[in-house]
Amino acid sequence: MIYFVIRRLLFAVVLLFVVSFFTYVLFTALPTNPAALTCGKNCTPEVIARNEVRLGYDQPIHVQYGRFLKGIFAGRTYGPEGASVHCPAPALGYSFEYHECVTDLITRTFPVTLSVAIGAFVLWMGIGVGLGTLAALRRGRWQDRFATTFSVVGISLPTFFFALLAILVIVIWGGLLDFPQYTGFTENPIKWFSGLLLPWATLAILSASTYVRLTRNGILEVMNEEFVRLGLAKGVKRRTLIIKYVMRAAMVPIVTIAGLDFAALLGGAVITESVFNLPGMGKLSIRAVTDSDLPVLVATTLVAAVLIVVANAVVDILYGFLDPRVREKV
């Protein structure tokens, strides 16, 4: 098992370097001159040329990437001496739109996205796995029909539509909750919870719909396996068999998808944060696109990609724990 974990971690490290390189090159190689995006509409060629030197865009792409990579580990100074700005490690760039180091922007917005992701993840796993298990164990009954209907409706609704509908019904018409507003957990845990309850519920209901189907189908598939029938024939209690063996086997594909979904959500719940006006990484990414803020766009994309790579490595390791056959194949 140790050899399996080491191999997965080494592969993840190599993949992180590959992802960072192609992410940086992809955005840097765009036909638009990045230096021209750092000044207004009246930007002169002389100012653009100075900005190219200041930001290092006058160098070949491989040199730019080398400096970018070095900045992640050692920090980076932008601009000539006397008019320079230093960003400590990990330096992901400097935003002339915000006049801040990009790392500071991500540090400020990531806790919002993390709060949204954790709360929604806990809710959708609880609802999805719980309702899916109930549907499988009550196959053909009203619980199964309810779970199937819930799954179909949830999958069919777009996120932005369901979010706007939730605001209209719960906030405006019902007055049951205030409009979501982020408050730091350390500042006021109660306001933090109440301010994120509606975004959590929105993401959880829509995402849980997929997990209801996955859990139900997985449990029913495992229940038809030979070892289940053999266990029942030998007198093993049905409850013990389901909890100890069936659920473990059925959770393998669910863990795989859940890890990647959670990582993608950590990269920024773009639609949810925009609709509920939450100052997270998703909203930061949207503004970077509209403002053509290339350093922020590169950094947020890279952070999202890194989170997915790390989550994939964690999922592979968990997969090995849940299914020993995986370890034997590598």
What pLDDT is recorded for position 325?
59
Alpha helices in the chain (DSSP H): 2-28, 45-55, 61-74, 102-137, 142-156, 159-166, 189-223, 226-233, 238-241, 247-266, 270-275, 281-290, 294-322, 324-329
What pLDDT is recorded for position 200?
92
What pLDDT is recorded for position 42?
66
Cα distance between residue 296 and residue 300, in whole Å: 6
Dump the DSSP string for 304-316. Answer: HHHHHHHHHHHHH
Element at 196 (helix H, strand E) = helix 189-223
Q: What is the pLDDT of residues 70-102, one digit of tens each?
A: 888 898 887 666 667 888 888 988 887 888 899
What pLDDT is recorded for position 81?
64
Instruction: Give pTM, 2 decimals.
Output: 0.84
What pLDDT is recorded for position 109?
92
Q: What is the pLDDT of residues 259-316, one digit of tens each?
A: 888 888 887 678 888 889 889 898 888 888 887 788 888 888 888 888 888 888 887 7
- Kindly give, in sequence order, each residue whose CB lies less than 8 Å from that of residue 163, ignoring residues fewer than 6 positions away: 199, 202, 271, 272, 275, 276
Report CA-CA distances (Å) from 216 to 150, 180, 195. Answer: 13, 33, 32
Question: How big is the chain, counted in residues?
Answer: 330
Q: What is the pLDDT of residues 176-209, one digit of tens each?
A: 888 888 888 888 899 999 889 999 999 888 888 8
How sure is the predictor about 122, in pLDDT bands with cuts at 50, 70 and 90? very high
**In this predicted model, which residue has the larger pLDDT, 324 or 60?**
60
Domain 104-329: state its class: mainly alpha
Q: What are phi and psi of 78, to 5 degrees?
A: -105, 130
Question: Are the C-beta atoms of residues 127 and 204 closer than 8 Å to each other?
Answer: yes
Cα distance between residue 121 and residue 134, in whole Å: 19
Amino acid identity of residue 149, one-letter, is: T
The CATH 1.10.3720.10 domain(s) of the chain lie at 104-329
Q: What is the pLDDT of residues 239-264, one digit of tens each?
A: 888 877 788 778 877 887 888 888 88
